[in-house]
Chains A and B, each alone.
Chain A
Amino acid sequence: MDLIDFIKNLASVFEDTNPSNLTPETRFRDIEGWSSLIALSIIAMADEVYGVKLKGDDIRKAITVQDLYEIIKSRI
């Protein structure tokens, strides 16, 4: 699992978000358009792309893009 690819996949979940605007330190809840639907879409993305079951609690505990990446990576 590659962090750059993960950032691209994460950016694709958001409407109008360029992956180049995201860094590992980005606080993903601060990205414009963050919503319950985006949270659910990240869970779906983790499942479809990485085969990882992400829980709502995982997203609530994570703060940055890197945090999310580490959680998913640890479950592959």
Chain B
Amino acid sequence: MKTIIEKYNVTLMRLTEDKIEMVRKWRNDPKIVQYMNYKEYITPEMQQKWFQRINNNNNYFFIIIYDKKEIGLINIRDIDYEKKEGEGGIFIYDDEYLDSDVPFRAALCLTDFCFEELCLKKIKAHILNNNKRAIEFNTFLGFKIAENQENVKNQLYTLIPDDYYIIRDKIIKLF
């Protein structure tokens, strides 16, 4: 099981049990909750159950580390190895790095891992239709909105390798 990925000057460290309380605090912060589909308060018990559910090869949750600081969480979850697809997600807790190049570094790091090591053929992402930043961020990475999402609040986007690599190679030149 992959535990650490280092690329594009960012480190992704697989989520371990000793970090789930920190992540729970991040996740319960209103600045993060506002963009999440699930908005209920998460208790330590809920977090513990969640961790037991995701700590396996079908889910990869990583702490994003930049400048030796733990700044956010990124994931590929609900991986279907037969369909070769999974659901991606990211949030940056540290405001210093929220609107910077670092989220792109982390996203490229995880997406490379998904396509090149997990051999996925599609990454899905659900984005609330009022989350303009996330929509722009994902669209820039090559995600495309799925069909019939116009009247859906939590809209489905998908990314395939061919679309991703064109964009990735342009972004890498800027790092």
Chain B interface size, as a band, is 10 to 19
Interface of B (DSSP majority class): helix
Q: Are A37 and B140 in contact (CB under 8 A)?
A: yes
Binding site for B on A (CB under 8 A): 29, 34-40, 43-44, 47, 56, 59-60
In the complex, what distance in Å separates the CA atom of A69 from the CA atom of B136? 26
B100 touching A36 by the CB < 8 A rule? Answer: yes
CB pair B133–A40 under 8 Å, yes or no, is no
A54 to B119, CA, bound (A): 33
When the two chains form their complex, are residues B174 and A40 in contact, meaning their CB atoms are under 8 A apart? yes
Q: Mark B126-154, 1 if CB is under 8 A from A, else 0.
A: 00000001001100100000000000000
Contact of B133 among A29, A35, A59, A60 (CB under 8 A): A35
Name the residue on B nearest A47 (C-beta).
B174
CB proximity of A44 to chain B, nearest CB, Å: 6
Interface of A is mostly: helix
Q: In the complex, are the beta carbons of B98 and A36 less than 8 A apart?
A: yes
Are the CB atoms of B137 and A37 closer together than 8 Å?
A: yes
- Within the assembled complex, what's the spacing in Å between the Cα atoms of A56 and B97? 9
Q: How far does the Cβ of B169 sit from chain A's closest Cβ, in whole Å?
A: 13
- Measured between C-beta atoms, what is the minimum distance from B159 to chain A in Å? 16
Q: In whole angstroms, what is the CA distance A44 to B136 when docked?
A: 16
